[in-house]
Copies of this chain bind each other. A is one copy, B any other.
Amino acid sequence: MAAAVHTSVWLDGKTTRSRKAEQPAGGLDLEKITEATVRLLDSEGLAKFSMRRLAAELGVTAMSVYWYVDTKDDLLELALDRVMGELDLPGESADGWRDQIRHLAVGYRRLLVDHPWTSPLAGEFLNVGPHANAFSASVLNVVTRTGLPPHGQAGGIAAVFQFVYGFGTVEGHFRDRCARAGVTQDAYFQHAMSAVSRHADTRATIERSKVIMAARGGETVEEMRDRDFEFALDLLFAGIEAMRGDQR
């Protein structure tokens, strides 16, 4: 019973379907389909993506895709793992753990921002494809070098990478929203700030946050976010150091 539960495309053997020879004919194949899926998701977003839209892009009827893929969800899982392949993972270098974590965090943040559709999918799926696996392996590798006690390593990973996930998600959505509204992030930000300032019930909150924002500084929205991200990472590194001697 529990054995019949569907977990992931990657765990059902469908992805290793023997493709015999990569037939170089003009026909479809899983590679072409996944590539087109990513292209469409990047350009039009998750909400507008559909099997029919994809089929049109591939110059094929809607149902052809279903010969290669069982469901739309399976295809999205394939697309997700494909873009995770863009991540540049740190090798077994002599770099300190700080640089390695920073490298992973910066790359993951960029992934979420460049492909905002990954964020709901990464939260939804199990994320056990080959590229997600390589990322996890890299994360596991670096956490053992932090000096965190073993019982705190899972928590440490969560603190760092769930933070990056949350940060990149919100950032990516905002960028996407501005692009689709046809305005710059700075224009949208100004517009939203003044709209919120006009409301009696939010004005007090916004005034307080303006103080904090002024202290943080930064000319553009991008710059402000970069400063917050950097400070948060430094805070996390300091936290890791402080928890090294934690016994319980």
Contacts and interface: CB of A to CB of B under 8 A. Distances in A.
A170 B159 contact: no
A143 B205 CA distance: 13
Given A156-B231, A165-B169, A216-B155, A191 B3 contact: yes
A124 interface: yes
A60 interface: no
Copies of this chain present in the complex amount to 2
A155 B216 CA distance: 9
B239 A137 contact: no
A216 B153 contact: yes
A6 B177 CA distance: 10
A124 B174 CA distance: 8
A187 B211 CA distance: 49
A242 B243 contact: no
A137 to B, nearest CB: 5
A59 interface: no
B128 A123 contact: no
Interface string A134-162: 00110011010000011111111011011
A22 interface: no
Contacts of A141: 208
A158 B208 CA distance: 16
B199 A155 contact: no
A97 interface: no
A124 to B, nearest CB: 5
A232 B173 contact: no
Interface in A175-232: 177, 181, 183, 187-188, 190-192, 195-196, 199, 201-202, 204-205, 208-209, 211-213, 215-217, 224, 227-232
Interface string A6-22: 11101100000000000
A215 B246 CA distance: 13
Contacts of A37: none
A2 interface: yes
11 contacts: A11-B199, A120-B123, A137-B204, A151-B231, A154-B216, A156-B231, A159-B231, A162-B232, A235-B243, A237-B239, A241-B242
Given A133-B202, A140-B205, A165-B166, 10 more contacts: A5-B188, A10-B199, A128-B196, A137-B204, A153-B212, A158-B229, A162-B163, A234-B243, A239-B239, A239-B242
